[in-house]
Amino acid sequence: MEIAIRKFQEEDIPYKVKWINDDRNNKYLHYDLPLREDKTFRWFKSLEGRNDRIDYTITYAGEPAGLIGLLNIDLSSKGAEYYICLGGDKFKGKGIANVATDLLIRRAFKEFGLNKIYLYTEIDNVPAQKLFEKSGFVKEGLLKNDLFYNGKYVDRYIYNLDVENYIHNVGVTKIGIK
């Protein structure tokens, strides 16, 4: 199983638009839909020179398979917010998200010196919660009415990952992926 992450590139824009606009992927995403290539191109260009986020494309056997990255990177507090979105159904259920998450966590530690990675997920997004918990994230609390999206309040959980503990004690080999 050849899984890798590489920096998001301009040629990945059509994939991102397709994946985010897919109703099977965007149920728990908070985008202004539908996503358009022209706006996504402007977003991509706006990333140049920024050091508060990093976006990667997940590849599976060389084929783009999803998106993963870190937002709100804060080098002084050594923390960042994690996100992931797998592409089509053919990439789901293969362990790709687990391996890509492991690669991202290791890169965050090595390249940015991050020690804390956190994420938010809607309380109904149980499949994502299973992934996060399998990857070593710990549910730390419930945020009631955390977002107002599409005319309703959204409750979300916050998860945290102690990166150094993960690197030394958990890791992908210890969660059952080779």
Rounded to two decimals, the pTM is: 0.90
Q: What is the CA radius of gyration of the chain?
A: 16
Percent of the chain with pLDDT over 70: 95
Q: pLDDT value at position 161?
A: 97
49 by DSSP, 3-state: which?
A: coil
Structure confidence by residue, pLDDT tens digits, 75-129: 999 999 999 999 988 998 899 999 999 999 999 999 999 999 999 999 999 999 9
Q: pLDDT value at position 178?
A: 34
Check: CB of residue 45 under 8 Å from CB of residue 10: no
pLDDT-derived band at 171, boundaries 50, 70, 90: low
Residues 6+ apart with CB under 8 A from 157: 120, 121, 122, 123, 129, 139, 140, 141, 142, 143
Distance CA 65, CA 88 (A): 7
Residue 151: which region, alpha, beta or left (left: phi > 0; alpha: psi -120 to 50)?
left
Residue 174 predicted with pLDDT over 90: no
Residue 31 predicted with pLDDT over 80: no
Classify domain 3-174 at the CATH topology level.
Answer: Aminopeptidase (3.40.630)
Structure confidence by residue, pLDDT tens digits, 121-148: 999 999 999 999 999 999 999 999 999 9
